[in-house]
Structure 1
Amino acid sequence: MSAAETTTAKVPPTRPSTAQGAGGGTGGAGKPAVRRRAGGGAALPWTLLAPCLLVLLLVLGYPLARLVALSFQKFGQPQLWGFQEPESVGFANFTKILGDGEFWAVVVRTIVFAGGAVILTMVLGMLTALLLQRVSGWVKTLINIALVASWGMPIIVATAIFKWLFDTDYGVLNWLLSRLPGVDMVGHNWFASGPQGLAVIMLLVVWGAVPFVVITLSAGLTQVPKELEEAARLDGAGSWGVFRYVTLPVLKPIIVMLTTLSVIWDMGVFPQVFVMRNGHPEAEFQLLTTYSYDKAFVVNDYGGGSAIALVTVVLLLGVVAVYMRQMLKIGEVE
């Protein structure tokens, strides 16, 4: 017998291992276990989200359902005090407001106001965030502290400060502008006209929104690869080229999110207008939120006020739909 045959004879036959037998083959026992793990993994996120969804359903679901119900009813003070039962009027409340020229004037005013506030907020926020990348560490820390302090200031307090700054008789801004050669702003009333007064309120809204945008964009700028910026500069791109072709694409998801949130917040502005006009906004200062409030609690037409509020919700849902579409497009590209 040769040496090769002797070696072959001594080697025992190889058996398939238990692990291979369990996992291999079409009907192995490993596949049902994998399916069980996958099923449990899919249910786990919903289980963890259930308490939050329940709270949202209780806090937001019932008021929204009540709002929808009121918008299809005739509901005034007699119904509020229980002297009469609410009367279903179908789409009469919507027909009334949609056929009212004043309502459409308020809609246009709200869109223009929100659009101007969003553009100013995003431009100033982006410029400030970019400038923060070029200052020293201690300066950046001080600016961030100031931003957080202004962001955390209550809206009522910030509105009171702006009322003092733009006051007709004792306003600091009028006093400062009057110091300029050839400028006389003593006793100037910033709220004598709607556009001028809304511009002041817009500055208040922008002042309160810029800190959040700056902090968020500053965090996003730290994720921009420095190698790509250096490569773009080596290829001859200037500062604008680097920002447009390198920085902006990286920040696009954050910009879309911030823009959407800003539109929602600025279309829902209420306390700034309400407090700035001492609880009684004039017709040229009315936005959708204050207009709905006046219809419901001043005119005591709760059905009409609910219809206006529901139209506002539908407009905001349109903004959310655009946001979701943009985010899905970004996800498909990536």
Structure 2
Amino acid sequence: MADPVVREEHAAAVGDSPRRRPPRRGRRQWAPLWLLTPAGLVMGVVTVVPIVLLVLISVTDYDQRSLFTGAFAFVGFEQYAAIFTDSDFWWSLVRTIVFTVAMVVGSVAVGMGVAQLMTRLGTVMRYVVTVVLICAWAMPNVASSLVWNWLFQPGYGVVNWLLTQLRVFGDMTDVAWSQHPLLSATSIWALIVWQAVPFIALTLYAAQVQVPQEYYEAARLDGASEWTVYRSITLVFLRPTLLLITILSIIWDYNVFNQIWLISQGGPDATTTTLGIFTYKTAFVGFDLGGGAAISVVTTLILLVLTAVYIRNLVRSGEDL
């Protein structure tokens, strides 16, 4: 029978000492919470608190008078009943949906084309295109919106001059794009697509270069055309990335405000008034802060549904990988 001292020394040598204290699980369980506390406090201050205040204001008659006197009254769901019976709200919602669909389809389609183009370029040109895309993506949307507005200005706008030189649409020199319903919507659409393409193109390119080349070689050996190869192989591998990019684009484009306001301010004749513009005009132009808050709550609920869809698909795509 081995000596107890010898057994203890042997256990200590192999790292299995019977006297070793078990780890303190309580401290380990609390450590992640302590590390997340600063970020949680910031998120609570900048996200949760404003949403709570927004909901509270939406059930009051808070207006311009309340800003100076602080007097207001709780009206319950009267603000929500008012906006749901307001035809301008529903038209703004319809315009928002149409704008969102058009911008998402345009940005994703152009982004897919640019990503496919980058796979065919040489090393030098690919780096040049990447730098150009990053520069366009890094430009603040306020600055780019102002520059974009100058490009389409009547009299000295570069775009108007170029279209006039093409002699296809006639003399476009004095055309005010922001004063024409279709032209203002087209200008805003082109601006948002231009801003969204860099992120989509670079993300899809990064995903596309991960596709195994053996699949392409086998398909081409079987005589498949380039369109068949792209549809049967590339799109299949890009499906999770495309789905997530599309959902993100829907959320972002649904919230577009700066570009529309800086170019057309929702005009002419409210043809470019989306929910964001309608909320701003209701709350800060008409000083119906309660009504504007109610519209914002409804918009937030719609975005929460979109975000839930995004997270659900994100989890699913992670499980499929």
- The residue that corresponds to 2:78 in the other structure is 92
What is the distance in 1 between the residues matched to 2:162 and 2:168? Answer: 13
CA distance in 2 between counterparts of 1:312 and 1:212 reads: 25
Return 178-187 or 294-303, whichever deviates more. 178-187
* Structure 2 counterpart of 1:3: none
Corresponding residue of 2:220: 233
Question: How do 1:9-24 and structure 2 match up within 5 A?
Answer: none
Percent of residue pairs identical: 38
Three-state SS of the structure 1 residue aligned to 2:179 is coil
The answer to which of 146-155 and 176-185 deviates more is 176-185
Deviations 1:149-203 (A, max 9, x none): 1111122221122112211222222221222345413322223332321121111
Shift, 1:278, TM fit? 6.1
Distance 1:226 1:182 in 2: 44
What is the Cα deviation at residue 294 of structure 1?
0.7
Whole-Å Cα distance in 2 between the matches of residues 330 and 141 of structure 1?
Answer: 29
**Displacement of 1:51:** 2.3
What are the equivalent positions in structure 2 for 1:131-210 lying under 5 Å apart?
131-181=117-167, 183-186=169-172, 187-210=174-197
Which residue matches 2:243? 256
Partner in structure 1 of residue 3 of structure 2: none
Q: Which residue of 2 aligns with 1:266?
A: 253
Structure 1 SS opposite 2:148: helix
**How many residue pairs align between the two structures?**
310
Cα separation, partners in 2 of 1:135 and 1:75, compared to 1, 3 Å: same
Q: How far, CA to CA, are the matches of 1:131 and 1:46 in structure 2? A: 46
> Rg: which structure is higher?
1
Bigger mean CA deviation after superposition, 89-98 or 255-264 = 255-264
Q: Distance in 2 between matches of 1:204 and 1:315?
A: 24
Contact 1:281 1:290 in 2 (8 A): no
Pair 1:50–1:243, CA change in 2 (3 A): farther
Which secondary structure does the structure 2 equivalent of 1:223 belong to? Answer: coil
The structure-2 alpha-carbon separation of the partners of 1:316 and 1:278, relative to structure 1 and needing over 3 Å to count, comes to closer
2:109 matches 1:123: yes
What letter is aligned with 1:219?
A
Counterpart-to-counterpart distance in 1, 2:236 and 2:28:
34
Whether the 8 Å contact between 2:265 and 2:277 is mirrored in structure 1 is: no
TM-score (norm 1): 0.83
For 1:229 and 1:288, how far apart are their aligned partners in 2?
A: 45
Alignment check: 8 A CA contact 1:117 1:206 kept: yes
Determine the structure 2 residue equivalent to 1:316. Answer: 303
RMSD: 2.8
Instruction: Give the TM-score normalised by structure 2.
Output: 0.86
Q: Which amino acid aligns with 1:232?
A: A
2:248 touches 2:310 (CA, 8 Å); kept in 1?
Answer: no
Q: Which residue does 1:11 correspond to in 2?
A: none
Q: Report the AA paired with residue 217 of structure 1.
A: L
Specify which of 91, 114, 136 is matched with residue 105 of structure 1.
Answer: 91
The 5-angstrom pairing of residues 270-281 of structure 1 reads 270-277=257-264
Once the two structures are TM-superposed, the CA of residue 302 in structure 1 deviates from its matched residue by 0.2
Once the 2 structures are TM-superposed, how far is the Cα of residue 55 of structure 1 from its aligned partner?
1.2
Counterpart check, 1:114 vs 2:94: no
Between the aligned partners of 1:313 and 1:175, the Cα distance in structure 2 is: 42
Instruction: State the shift of 1:276 in Å.
Output: 1.2
Cα 1:181–1:202, aligned 2, differ >3 Å: closer, same or farther?
Answer: closer
Q: Find the aligned partners of 1:128 and 1:98 in 2 and give their Cα distance.
A: 42
How far apart, in 1, do the equivalents of 2:269 and 2:261 lie?
10
Going from structure 1 to structure 2, the CA distance change for 1:251 and 1:50 (only over 3 Å counts) comes to farther
Change in 2 beyond 3 A, CA 1:48/1:224 = farther
d(CA) in 2 for partners of 1:327, 1:287: 28
Letter of the aligned partner of 2:277 in structure 1?
Answer: T
Distance 2:140 2:55 in 1: 31
SS at match of 1:185: coil
Deviation at residue 141 of structure 1 after TM alignment: 1.0
